[in-house]
Structure 1
Amino acid sequence: MNPTVGELLASAPAFALILARVGATMTLMPGLGESSAPAVVRIGIALCITILLVPILQPIMPPVPSAGLMMALMVAGEVVTGLWFGWLTRVIALALPIGIQFVAYLLGLSSVLQPDPDLGAQSTALAKLFNLAAPVMILGSGLYTLPLRALVGLFQLIPPGHMLPAGDSLQVAVQAIGTTFNLALRVASPFVLAAIVWHVAMGQIARVMTRVQIYFVALPGQILGGLLLLATIGGAMIVAWRQGVETYLGALPGAG
C-alpha cells in the first residue's frame, strides 16, 4: 500500500533527524564522501540511506517536540554526531598519504625547510598519488560497507535526539589519531630502517673522505635506491594499510 499524506508527515521529523546525521557523515566518509565526487551523487546516497533507515529506526525515534527550537537543537546534535563519526572514518584513510609523506622526506624528495609551492607545505607528489589511491582501494575492496554498517549501529548506541557524550567521544578521537599515526609509521617502516642504515653508512664514509661533500654525492643514489625500494614493496605497503584500515573500521563505535 502507498503511504498516505498523514503517514508521510508523521515520518518527517524522523527523516530530518536521520538525514542530519547521515548527511553529515557522508561529507567526511572516505570513498563515498570524497570532495572530488559530484555533490549530487553524495546527496543522493545520503537520501537513499536515510529512506532505508527511517522504517527501521522509527521505533527508537524521540517524541516530536512542541517547540521548533528544540527540534532545531536536536537536528544540530545529529549533525555534530555525524561529523564526529565521519571524521573517525576519514582519519584512518589518511594513514597512507601520511606514511608516504614520511617516505618522501626520507628519500630526499621533500624537505620541511623547502616546501613545495605547488603541492603545499606538507605534501609531495608521492603523497598526492597515494592520497588518490586510498579512496580507490576503499571503494574497490568494499571497505566502504564497514562504516555504513557501523553508522546503522551508531543509531542504537547514540539514539536520535541524544547528544554526543563529550568525554567518550574525545577519548575515541584521541585513540583514532594514535592508531592513524601508528599505521602510517608501519607503512613507512621499511624506509625508516633503510634510511637509518644509509645515513650511518654515509656518516662513516664522510669521516674517511673528509674533503668530499658526501651529501651531494650520495643524494642521487639515495633517491634512486628509495624509488626502487618503493617500486618493490609498494604493493605490500598498500596491503598492510588496507589490513589496518579494515581492522579499524571493523571496531568503529556501533560496529559491534
Structure 2
Amino acid sequence: MTPIAEALLLVQTQLWLGFVVFLRVGAAVVLLPGFGEQSVPARIKLVVVLAFTFIVAPAIPQTPPTFSTDGLAVLVATETLSGLLVGLGIRLFVLALQTAGAIAAQSTSLSQIMGGAAIEPLPAMGYVLTVGAVALALMAGLHVKAAQLLIHSYVLLPMGLFLSGSDVADWGLSQIAHAFELAFLLAAPFVLMSVLYNLALGVINKAMPQLMVAFVGAPLITLGGLFLLFLAAPVILSVWLSALDQFMISPFGVAR
C-alpha cells in the first residue's frame, strides 16, 4: 500500500471515529446545563459539540466497527440513545433545582413574581437558583467533568450495543425519584418556615379574631422568604453541586 493510500485510510478511519463520537456527544450536549440551554444559539451548540468531539474521540477505549450501511443505522440509534441517557441524567439535577425553587416560592407566596423572566416560565426563586447553579457548575469545571463522563460512558455503555429496556427503566425511575428527593431536601427550609408561619397565624387569629392576620402576615412571609433565600442559597447550591459531582463519578450506580 502506497503512503498516500495509507494516509487516506487513516483519515477515513479518523473521520468515521469522529462521526460516531459526534453522535453520542451531540445528544448529550443538547441536554447539558449551560451548553444546551434554549437561549444558546444553534451555531454555538454545534461548535461546543465539535469541541467535545475533538476531546473525547482520541481518548475513548474502543474503536468503532467497520463502516457499513446496516452498521451505520445501528450506531446512529445506539449512540444517540447513550448520549441522551448521559445528558438526561445531568439535566435532571437542573429540573430538581427548578422544582425546589417552585416549592420554595409556593411556600413563601412568591410564585407569581417574575414568573416569565426565563424562556421556560419559572418562579423568581427557581430562576435565581437555576442561574446560580449553572454558573457555579461551569466555574467548578462542568465542561471537564462532562468530557470525563463521556469518555467513561464508553466503558459503561459500549459502542453499538442496545441497552436493556428494564435496566434503562429502573435507572430512569431511580434518577427521577432521587431528583424529587433532592428537590424537597433543598426546599425543606422554606417548607418549614411556611408551616411555622401558618401555625403562628392560626394562633394569632384564634387569640384576636378581629385582627386581619392575612394582611399583616403577607408582607412578613414575603420578607422572610427573601431573607431565608439570602441565607440558604449558598448552602442549597453547595449541596446541589455535591450531588451533581457524585452523579458524575458514578452515573449508573446507586442514586443515593
Structure 2 counterpart of 1:136: 135
CA 1:58–1:121: 2 relative to 1, 3 Å: closer
Which residue identity is paired with 1:62? P
Shift, 1:208, TM fit: 1.9
The reply to whether residue 126 of structure 1 matches residue 117 of structure 2 is: no
Q: Deviations over 1:187-220 (max 9, x none)?
A: 1111111111111111111122223332232111
Q: Provide the rounded CA distance (Å) in 2 between the counterparts of 1:39 and 1:148.
A: 20
Q: Provide the rounded CA distance (Å) in 1 between the counterparts of 2:152 and 2:116.
A: 44
Residue pair 1:115, 1:121 contacting (<8 A) in 2 also: no
Q: Deviations over 1:111-150 (max 9, x none)?
A: 7xx9957769962122222222221111011134323212
Residue pair 1:93, 1:245 contacting (<8 A) in 2 also: no
Aligned equivalent of 2:41, options 15, 38, 43: 38
TM-score by length of 1: 0.85
Structure 2 counterpart of 1:194: 193
Structure 2 counterpart of 1:12: 15
Q: Provide the rounded CA distance (Å) in 2 between the counterparts of 1:53 and 1:246.
A: 19
Alignment of 1:210-229 (within 5 A): 210-229=209-228
Q: Which structure ranks higher in relative contact order (CA pairs < 8 Å, sequence separation ≥ 6)?
A: 1
CA 1:56–1:232: 2 relative to 1, 3 Å: closer
Q: Provide the rounded CA distance (Å) in 2 between the counterparts of 1:142 and 1:11.
A: 28
Which residue identity is paired with 2:78? G
Q: Deviations over 1:41-77 (max 9, x none)?
A: 3322322332344344474422333xx2441232122
Shift, 1:249, TM fit: 2.3
Residue pair 1:154, 1:253 contacting (<8 A) in 2 also: no
CA 1:226–1:48: 2 relative to 1, 3 Å: closer
Over the matched positions of the two proteins, sequence identity in percent amounts to 26
Q: Provide the rounded CA distance (Å) in 2 between the counterparts of 1:121 and 1:45.
A: 23
Task: Report the secondary structure of 2:223's partner residue.
Answer: helix
Residue pair 1:61, 1:159 contacting (<8 A) in 2 also: no
Alignment of 1:158-237 (within 5 A): 158-237=157-236
Which sections of structure 2, spanning at least 5 residues, go unmatched?
Answer: none
Which sections of structure 1, spanning at least 5 residues, go unmatched?
Answer: none
Q: What's the Cα RMSD here? A: 2.8
Residue pair 2:28, 2:87 contacting (<8 A) in 1 also: yes
CA 1:109–1:238: 2 relative to 1, 3 Å: same
Residue pair 2:79, 2:160 contacting (<8 A) in 1 also: yes
Structure 2 counterpart of 1:86: 87
CA 1:24–1:118: 2 relative to 1, 3 Å: closer
Structure 1 counterpart of 2:78: 77
